[in-house]
Amino acid sequence: MKQNKTYDKVFHLSDIDLDGYTSQYLMSLTNEEIEYYNCRIVDFYEKLNQIKNEILQLRGQKVLLLITDISLLDKDVENLNNFKNSNKHIDINFQVLDHHIVSDFVSGQEWYLFDTNRCSAKITSDYILENYTFDRELQNKIRHYGDFVDAVDRWQESSPWFRKGNLVASYLYNKFYFFEEIKHFKREAMFWFIPKLIDNIKEKDILDFELQEPYIRLDFLKGKISEELHNDRNIETKDKFNEYYTNLYSKVDTSTFKIKINERDETFKFFYNLNSDVFQSLSHMYLKENKELGFMLNIKGSGSMSFRSIGANVQEIAKEYFNGGGHKEASGGRIKFNKRMNSKEEVEEFLCSFNYIEKVE
């Protein structure tokens, strides 16, 4: 029997591509109370454990752990079943909607919906149409979103949505840059853009869509940057997005460090592997609003370093400690890591191993 709401709480874990985010967007059209999580393969277990800890706080409630566009191993299934059996004080339910090949043991679970002939977004669209009630217009949209993503995710060149789907996927992943510190804002943007772009391109040819697409991106920025900046037709859209990224970064609680140079301390914040263009704009915008901070630093995996300031002399810092130099407010340098760095946290630990750098908050 179809319902508008089945669970007290749904935890939805999905991949970080178009298929994964569309699966989550489709679930957001139901009336379920949903907490969303996204992950890559490398951080799957970290996210799964985080969800399990959240579930343990929900005694007596009916809970669904929904996983889309992520395949499970035999050990993962055993782990989940043990988790359910060990916590009978919570009504724990599982549902996997996926299209990647798995073992017979995994696909044989009654809660594992596995189909290589549909992408996860298409499986999700069919799943929610089967289990939830929608008006006819929304039903048609849900079906279309599933078919649209299926065409590009499974490379269905015969589909009328194949080329358009590739174009939408390209825009979503080449026009936006949600770096590490603000990546949890990405889903909000994806939920806005996925229906906007798919609806817009449905009735247009590709050339018309390409002409319209910049205005769709500007529409997204309404209320997220100053009205004056938004309406200025002589400022590039990418710079308007850099202002948006800066506003998001200002909301994030990030660590501040200090470095000793010539009997004084300079405070700074640092990024790891930030896009150089975004770093240039974000540093300037952020430092203008946070005058107590000395400079901003960007460190690449190769060890190259970029320093930006408004007032502080970063040239002497780069020269003294990092085999670099440049200008007073814009310099470069290089740091030699003692091992391969895989995360910002590892770089932070390495920086703080120097006796002239200290974490202050």
Please give the structure tokens belonging to residue 143.
């079906």
- The CA distance from 52 to 48, in Å, is 6
CATH number of 257-359: 3.10.310
Order of strands across the sheet that contains 295-299: 325-326, 330-334, 304-309, 295-299, 264-272, 257-261, 357-359
Residue-level pLDDT at 3:
62
Residue-level pLDDT at 277:
84
Average of per-residue pLDDT across 143-158: 97
Sorted by where each begins, the domain ranges of the chain are 1-155, 160-252, 257-359
- The CA distance from 78 to 80, in Å, is 6
Per residue in 60-112, pLDDT (tens digit) is 999 999 999 999 999 999 999 999 999 999 999 999 999 999 999 999 999 99
The answer, yes or no, to whether residue 239 has pLDDT greater than 60, is yes
Residue-level pLDDT at 2:
60
Please give the structure tokens belonging to residue 284.
């300037």
Residues with Cβ within 8 Å of 272's Cβ and at least 6 positions away in sequence, in order, are 180, 298, 299, 300, 301, 341, 343, 344, 347
The answer, yes or no, to whether residue 191 has pLDDT greater than 80, is yes
Using the structure block, give the residue that is written with the tokens 């936006």.
176
Per residue in 261-300, pLDDT (tens digit) is 988 999 999 999 888 888 988 899 899 989 999 999 999 9
Residue-level pLDDT at 133:
93
Instruction: Please give the model's pTM, rounded to 2 decimal places.
Output: 0.86
- The CA distance from 17 to 89, in Å, is 35
| Class in CATH terms, 1-155 | alpha beta
Residue-level pLDDT at 113:
96
Per residue in 298-338, pLDDT (tens digit) is 999 889 999 999 999 999 999 999 999 999 999 999 999 88
Nearest to 122 by CA among 149, 162, 140, 100: 149
